[in-house]
Structure formats: structure tokens, C-alpha cells
Chains A and B, each alone.
Chain A
Amino acid sequence: MSVEQKKVRKKERSARLAIWMAARSSRNKTFLDRLCRKMITKATAVDPTKDFMRDDFVDNDQGFDPDELDRYQRGETAVVGQQ
């Protein structure tokens, strides 16, 4: 096996570990799952001052009130179309 091939196989093993951990993390049921999740959370943490994922629309989202959505769907509060 050439040096180049060895490098690729090493990366492959590392990718397999990463995928295995991501799969465990997605299960989030056993202690091992949660440990994987914690590790991935740590590994993907972004400096809050440089967090490009932060966004007012996302952060401030409170969702909708179920009764209001019902009324909206019945046309009681809808502005049909716009303006």
C-alpha cells in the first residue's frame, strides 16, 4: 500500500468513526448515545461572537397559538391575500 493509499484509508477509518458517532448521537437513548452527542456538540461549537447561524427570525420564533391558527384556518382572522 502506498503512502497516499494509507492516508486515504486512515481518513476512511476516521470518517467511519465520525459516522458511527453521528448515528449514535441521533439515537440519543443510551449513555453511549448521549456521550457521542455531547462530544459532537462540543466539536461543532462555534464561538458565540462569530456564530453565523444566529438569526433574529430564528432566535425569536415563538411559534403560533393553536386556537389562533384554528381561527385563521377558518378565515376568521385571515387577511386573505395580502395588504
Chain B
Amino acid sequence: MPAPVPFDPQEIVDAKYEERPTREGVTTKRMICAACDIACSVVGEVQKGRVTKIRSSDNPIFKDNICMKGIVAPKGLAHPNRILHPLKRVGERGSGKFEQVTWEEAMGDIGGRLKKIIAEYGPEAWAVSTSQWNTSTDHGLGRRVMNHVGSPNWISGVALCAGNTAAVNRFTYGWFPFGDFSSTNCIVLMGHNPRRHSWTPLYNSIRSAQARGAKLIVMDPRRSSSAERADIWLPLKAGSDAAMMFGWLKVIIDEELYDKEFVANWTLGFEDLKERVNEYPLERVAELTGCDPEMIAEAARVYATSGPSIIPWTPITDMQRNSTSGIRLQTILRSICGYVDVPGGELLQGFNPDIVNESTVEMHHVLSDEQKLKQLGSKDHPAFTYRGQLAFREPTQRVYGQEYANLVTGCHMATPSETFRAMAGEGEYPVKAFFFLGNNPLMSYANMPLIHKAMMNQDLIVSHEQFMTPSAQLADYILPADSWLERPWIHDMFGWMSTIRFSEKAMDPPGDCKSTFEFWKQIAGALDMPEVVPWDTIEDFYDYRVAGTGKSFADLISDTEVYFKKPAFKTYEKTGFATPSGKVELKSSLLEELGFDPLPYFREDPPHDKDYPQKMFTGVREDPYFQTGHRHIPEMRARCPEPQIYLNEKTAKAAGVAEGDWVSVENQLGSVKAILAVKDAMPDDLVRVPHGWWKPEMKQGNGSLSGAWDYSDAQLCRDDPDYLDHEQGIPHLKGIPCRVVPLAAEGPAKAASNAQHMEPAE
């Protein structure tokens, strides 16, 4: 996401601006970085036909939005192990052996085999996993092809990270807001910890806001660097976000700090909410969260009275047993305090009317209702599936001008756990073909042993990838993917915000690497439906998407970096909210219709198991890496060569482990190895497990899967009912019982480093 526009007309006097000079032989391209999911506007410097440098944008509204991952991208993507040609599996699945084939040969066989599977089992037997955030998009074309074929079984990592948050936000006010960092008075981070080298634009936005006087409240069990900079830090127990927000609501309602006019005119269910909130007196909340009641009350008062305030999306609340309630409680706090769709508050931007958005490209209307209802997970956990989201069609049309809004690509998708169960032969019907693009599914969802079983049970697996990931090692075909340096891109803010940006192609893709556009075009052709992707080139496709601006893609890209929609506030006064009632539904009519509690609630942890005395949280990544990527880049690996878990000294002693030891973190599902770092910034009995570890240099193929079986945190992520959110079916990753035990004989132990003791826990 772009930095907000930190601009105050009053401050404009005598400005000076100079373009950054370029060296001889160097040309520049304006690009959008896709090395992580936050899409910084950057500049690519090109020499001798290749990108040799990525630097931050010259545009002051995007300035200094760049991190180490973006800077090393030219080297990371020039790695000698990059997959440059289509590969076909040789030997049994997981043999780790492949032979080079052509795209034509691959597509001929893939098309034939996929058609056979569809004929035998039905179109729903084809599942696709991707993450448009990570791959710099497949433009909605994947879902478009699937919708035409008749398969609803598309899954993505956004099922437990932002996409689900967006889908659940709709239940309250019909859209997913984005905080107006540029003029907010108070920012609340719930476990989120953006840093200079991780979610860089957010870090810059938060610090800019603080520099002009905005308050920062951080809820985090760890003393993170954001916690250190906060005005108030609430060190809550991992996984207790929803309980904490009940405490805030109790204070805000009891002390009448809410926006009475907005509540009276624009919300439904306030009295019911009040009753539910009364079940959470501060003493109970203090017990559930482990925080001091006075501090809880103080934080609630600051949030409610500083206004307008914002609660940005966090990749924490969307990964919990109480995720739906937690996200709903965020939406309720925003609403009753009157912070929705106001300057400095939470903006409901809607679509940019001049651009064909990805929700439109996806063509959800062509998928029959019968197929929609077959979507895996929609029976038991419907919140973000078609079943859960269909009632938004009319309200979304009324407010935003079209029926389907796939915000952050997280609406209308299948639930991952149910999809993998079906793939493993344990579901309501079989799934026998699995495609994944720019995605390492084995390690990106909960319950890796199940995912492995699921993949081993497939008739056809196709991967579109840049590197030989553990998941790709199990594929029948690996098709070589281009990178963000090697193609143009329209970035539509994940279908969520109205700002559109453009990225130039800076170099040719190496070898036979092709874009996701090409991939889906060829798949449509292989399935005898070329008319589904009718454009000859990606540029033609983009011309179609931007035609409403009155310009071609080439004109736009040469003219500007960003295409805005005019800002507007409180538009609900004209259109109502995009909910069935047109109001903010504090008590959700749709959740009630789906058979769930229409009000938020808090499920406490299952009974304590004495064999697993610690609790772990995962999903955390180190600055040099994004998700499961980047471990192949020497410059990044040197900064963080091994996976590290964090414990405080007391917990480490109790577990019989010491700084620098190799340890094993175990629970009922599996175990992973890591080096222990002792951090006083960690609370007692909490274990930080890093996300996405494997080692590209280790042995490929089943058995090792390049170290995935040693290090991948997905082996510890449970998806049994106690550890799933009811409404969404997503796993609880913040507070899983575990134990840490010493692990002898694993590599040279690192020397203890006292320097780490006082650092924050990142």
C-alpha cells in the first residue's frame, strides 16, 4: 500500500526539489516492488538490459519506502538456481527429479489430464492456491478461468492474513476500511510491529503520524520495537485480542465515550451489544488478558477520546481461535466511536470507477449457484466463502456499483483446511488436481502433515514458480515464472482501495519464464476455452482495464505513477452502508442467518495440557525474508542464517536450554528445530517460532524437502476444532500449547550473545 499523503497545504513555502541524477548508461523505470506484500513504489535502474539496482522512488509521496528485500531483488532474481524452463517430474511424486520440457509439451499434457479429472470427478475436483499479494497478482484471471470451468475451490494465504479480515469487516459495515494515517490522532497496533525493513510504508506512516503528535497504543505480549515507542503498551496474553476489546468497549460504553449520534442514526444492535459487553467486566478482562485493569481503561479512553483514531489491519487478530469476533470487535470499536469514513479515521474508499477491477475480471457471476454451494468449507465455516458472502451482492451493488467485491482477494474463497482434507481423500468429495502459483502451500497453511498427505494423493500437481520450493518438489510440472522486474503491472490495491498504480517492465524475463497472465491464457487454451482470456498480450489486457480513464496503459504509465479517485467522506449519508440493512450492523444479521452468534464472544483456551507447558505464536518473519522466500539470497541469509526461537531467561532455564542451543519446539502435531535466542522482551512461557523456514541448499525431494520437515512452522499449526475459528475455519496461531526441549547434535551451536538481551522482540 502506498504511504498516505502526508500533506498539509499550510506548510507549503519555498520548496526545493531536485531529481536524483542517473549515471551514464543507466536508464530508470518506475516500478512497484513485489518482494513482499506491501507494494512500495520504487525505481529500477537498468544497465546492459538488466536491473542492477532498486532504489526508493523520487516521488515525495512515496519517499524512502524501500527495505533490504527490495534492494537485493536484482541479485535474488538472478540466482543461478532460478527455474528457467518448464520441468516435468521423473519417477514417483516427490522423487525430486525433473526433466526439461517445452511449454507446449507441458500444456498439452496438463490440459489433457485436467480435462480427464474434471470429466471423472467434476470441476470442483480442481483446486488452486495462490496469493496475489505475494506473486504481484494473477490479475483475477485464475478465478476467472476457474469460474468458467466451474470450480469454486480457490484458496490463498489471505484466508488467514488480511483477506479474511476484509471479508469479516463486511459483516459490520460492508467494506474493509483503510486508516487515514495522514491525519489521525491515535493509532492502535494489535500485535502488529511494522519496522524499517518490514512493512516499510506502514512503519514510515506510523512514525510520521507520531512525529506530528499522534498517539500510539500497542497491544503485544512482546516488548516489540513498536511497543517501545508506544504511549501505552498493553502486554496482553497471546490470543486474547477479543477479550481485550471487550474490556475497551466496557469502558467506552459505561463512560459514554462513544459517538451517540452515529450510534443512534447509523447502527443496529447497540442494546444487544451492550448486554454482551456487560459479560466482560474489567476484572474478567484483566484475568483473560493478563493486563492491569486501569491500563486497559486508560487505553480505551485514549482511543475513544483522541479521535479520529485508527486500528490498522494486523496479521495477528486474523489468526486466532476468536478471529471473527476479534475482527468484528475492531469494526465495532471503530463504528461506535464514530471513526468510520471520516477524515483521520477509517476510510471506506470503494472501487476506482475508471478501472476494471479484479473482482470484475474474476467474473463470479458465471459460476452457478450449485457449484458455489459446493465450495469446500462453506457448510461449517462459511464466513468468507460464497455462502457467507453472497448476501452482500445487492448491498454492494447499491453502494459500490457492482455485485461482487473480492476485497484483498479474501472473499468468496474455499477454506484451506477443508480443501486439503478433500485432497487427502477425507473430504465431502475428492479433489484430484492442484495448481499453485507463487505460493508454497505445504508451508503456508496449518497442518503441514495433512497438506503433504493431500499433495501425495493428487493425480495432477502444477506449480508456477521461480525456485524449487518444498511444495514445487512435489509437483508434476513446474512452469517457470517471471518476476516483478520482468513484466508490467497494474496494482489495484488488492481490490480494496481506490488508488491505482503502475509498474513498468524493466528487463526481459530469463529463459522461458512467463507471467501469470501467460500461464492462465495458456491454461484457458489447453481447456479449449481461449475466449475466456481473449487478450493477446498483458498490455492489451491492461488497455482493457484502464480504458475508462480515456488513456492507454502505455500513456498512463508514461504519464504518472498513481491514479487517484477523488476522496470523499461520509458517503454513507447518501448510499447507506453495504449491509442488508444499510446500517452498521453491530449485531450481524448475516452471521445470525448463517447460524452463528450475531454478536462477538470470547472462547477461552481448551484445558491446559501439562506436557506442553509453554505457548507458542507463529507467523513471525525476520526482516530479510518474506514468508517462505528469500532464504537463497546470500546477502539476506548472512543476516539471519538459521531459524531462531525466542524465550525469556526464566522460561529458557525452566526448559533446560540456553542461548545459542539448538532446541526442538514440539506439540501434538509435530516438531521443529531452531536456535534459541534469549530475549528479555519476551514474557514468561511464550515461545516465538519464526515463519516459513526451509533451506534451499538442503536435499530436495520427499524425506527432506529441503529442510521443510526440520524447520517449517506449519508442522506445529493445528487445525483441529479447538484450534479453529468457528465462522471462518482458520487456525489459531497465537497461543498454541507446546514445549521446548534441548536438541543435541544439530550443527555448531551459536555463541551466546548478551547483546540480544535488551533488544526488543521482533
Q: Which residues of A contact B50 (CB under 8 A)?
A: 66, 69-70
Partner of A12, one of B54, B569, B632, B697: B569
| A23 B16 Cβ-Cβ under 8 A | no
**B234 → chain A closest CB, angstroms:** 23
| A27 B570 Cβ-Cβ under 8 A | no
> A61-78: which have CB < 8 Å to B?
61-67, 69-70, 72-75, 78
Complex CA gap A23/B634 in Å reads 39
| B510 A39 Cβ-Cβ under 8 A | no
Known: A43-B11, A82-B638. A12 touches B343 (CB 8 A): yes
Partner of A43, one of B12, B197, B204, B561: B12
Q: Which residues of A contact B80 (CB under 8 A)?
A: 72-75, 78, 80
**A61 → chain B closest CB, angstroms:** 5
Interface string of A27-44 (1 = CB under 8 A from B): 111000010011111111
Complex CA gap A35/B5 in Å reads 16
Cβ of A6 under 8 Å from chain B: no
| A44 B61 Cβ-Cβ under 8 A | yes
**A14 → chain B closest CB, angstroms:** 7
Q: Which residues of B contact A82 (CB under 8 A)?
A: 631, 634, 637-638, 641, 695, 697
Q: Which residues of A contact B563 (CB under 8 A)?
A: 23
| B53 A63 Cβ-Cβ under 8 A | yes
Known: A61-B55, A63-B52, A83-B641. A39 touches B15 (CB 8 A): yes
| A40 B632 Cβ-Cβ under 8 A | no
| A44 B63 Cβ-Cβ under 8 A | yes
Known: A25-B61, A63-B45. A57 touches B68 (CB 8 A): yes
Q: Which residues of A contact B344 (CB under 8 A)?
A: 11
Cβ of B48 under 8 Å from chain A: yes
**B707 → chain A closest CB, angstroms:** 10
Q: Which residues of B contact A38 (CB under 8 A)?
A: 15-17
Partner of A64, one of B53, B67, B203, B564: B53
> B522-562: which have CB < 8 Å to A?
559-562
Determine, out of B70-78, B425-433, B612-620, the stretch whose residues face the partner at the interface.
B70-78
Q: Which residue of A lies closest to B229 (CB)?
A: A52
Q: Which residue of A lies closest to B637 (CB)?
A: A82
> B561-577: which have CB < 8 Å to A?
561-564, 566-570
| A57 B71 Cβ-Cβ under 8 A | yes
Complex CA gap A60/B273 in Å reads 54
> A1-54: which have CB < 8 Å to B?
5, 8, 11-12, 14-19, 21-23, 25-29, 34, 37-44, 46, 50, 52-53
Q: Which residue of B lies closest to A14 (CB)?
A: B9
> B57-87: which have CB < 8 Å to A?
58-61, 63-64, 66-68, 71, 74-75, 78-82
| B211 A46 Cβ-Cβ under 8 A | yes
Cβ of B56 under 8 Å from chain A: yes
Known: A26-B562, A81-B697. A19 touches B567 (CB 8 A): yes
Cβ of B213 under 8 Å from chain A: no
Complex CA gap A62/B53 in Å reads 7
Q: Which residues of B contact A21 (CB under 8 A)?
A: 7
Q: Which residues of A contact B510 (CB under 8 A)?
A: 73
**B684 → chain A closest CB, angstroms:** 31
Partner of A8, one of B71, B342, B631, B637: B342
Known: A12-B343, A44-B61. A37 touches B567 (CB 8 A): no
**B634 → chain A closest CB, angstroms:** 6
**B43 → chain A closest CB, angstroms:** 11
Q: Which residues of B contact A78 (CB under 8 A)?
A: 79-80
Complex CA gap A53/B54 in Å reads 16
**B254 → chain A closest CB, angstroms:** 25
Q: Which residues of A contact B55 (CB under 8 A)?
A: 61, 63
**B71 → chain A closest CB, angstroms:** 5
Q: Which residues of B contact A25 (CB under 8 A)?
A: 59-61
**B96 → chain A closest CB, angstroms:** 15
Complex CA gap A27/B502 in Å reads 12
Complex CA gap A42/B64 in Å reads 15
Q: Which residue of A lies closest to B80 (CB)?
A: A75
> B476-532: which have CB < 8 Å to A?
510
Complex CA gap A83/B12 in Å reads 52
| A26 B632 Cβ-Cβ under 8 A | no
| A22 B5 Cβ-Cβ under 8 A | yes
Q: Which residues of B contact A50 (CB under 8 A)?
A: 211
Known: A19-B566, A57-B197. A42 touches B204 (CB 8 A): no
**B199 → chain A closest CB, angstroms:** 14
Cβ of B744 under 8 Å from chain A: no
| A58 B64 Cβ-Cβ under 8 A | yes
Q: Which residue of A lies closest to B706 (CB)?
A: A81
| A12 B567 Cβ-Cβ under 8 A | yes
Q: Which residues of A contact B71 (CB under 8 A)?
A: 57-58, 61
Q: Which residues of B contact A63 (CB under 8 A)?
A: 45, 52-55, 74
Q: Which residue of B lies closest to A59 (CB)?
A: B64
| A41 B60 Cβ-Cβ under 8 A | yes
Cβ of B453 under 8 Å from chain A: no
**9 nearest CB pairs, A to B:** A81-B697, A63-B53, A42-B15, A38-B15, A53-B64, A75-B80, A11-B343, A39-B12, A38-B17
Residue pairs across A and B with Cβ atoms less than 8 A apart, 12 shown, are A25-B59, A26-B59, A42-B15, A42-B16, A43-B8, A43-B15, A44-B6, A58-B66, A62-B53, A66-B49, A74-B80, A81-B697
List residues of chain A with CB under 8 Å of any chain B CB. Answer: 5, 8, 11-12, 14-19, 21-23, 25-29, 34, 37-44, 46, 50, 52-53, 55, 57-58, 61-67, 69-70, 72-75, 78-83
Additional pairs, 7, CB under 8 Å, beyond known A21-B7, A53-B63, A79-B634: A8-B343, A11-B569, A16-B566, A26-B561, A26-B562, A44-B7, A63-B74
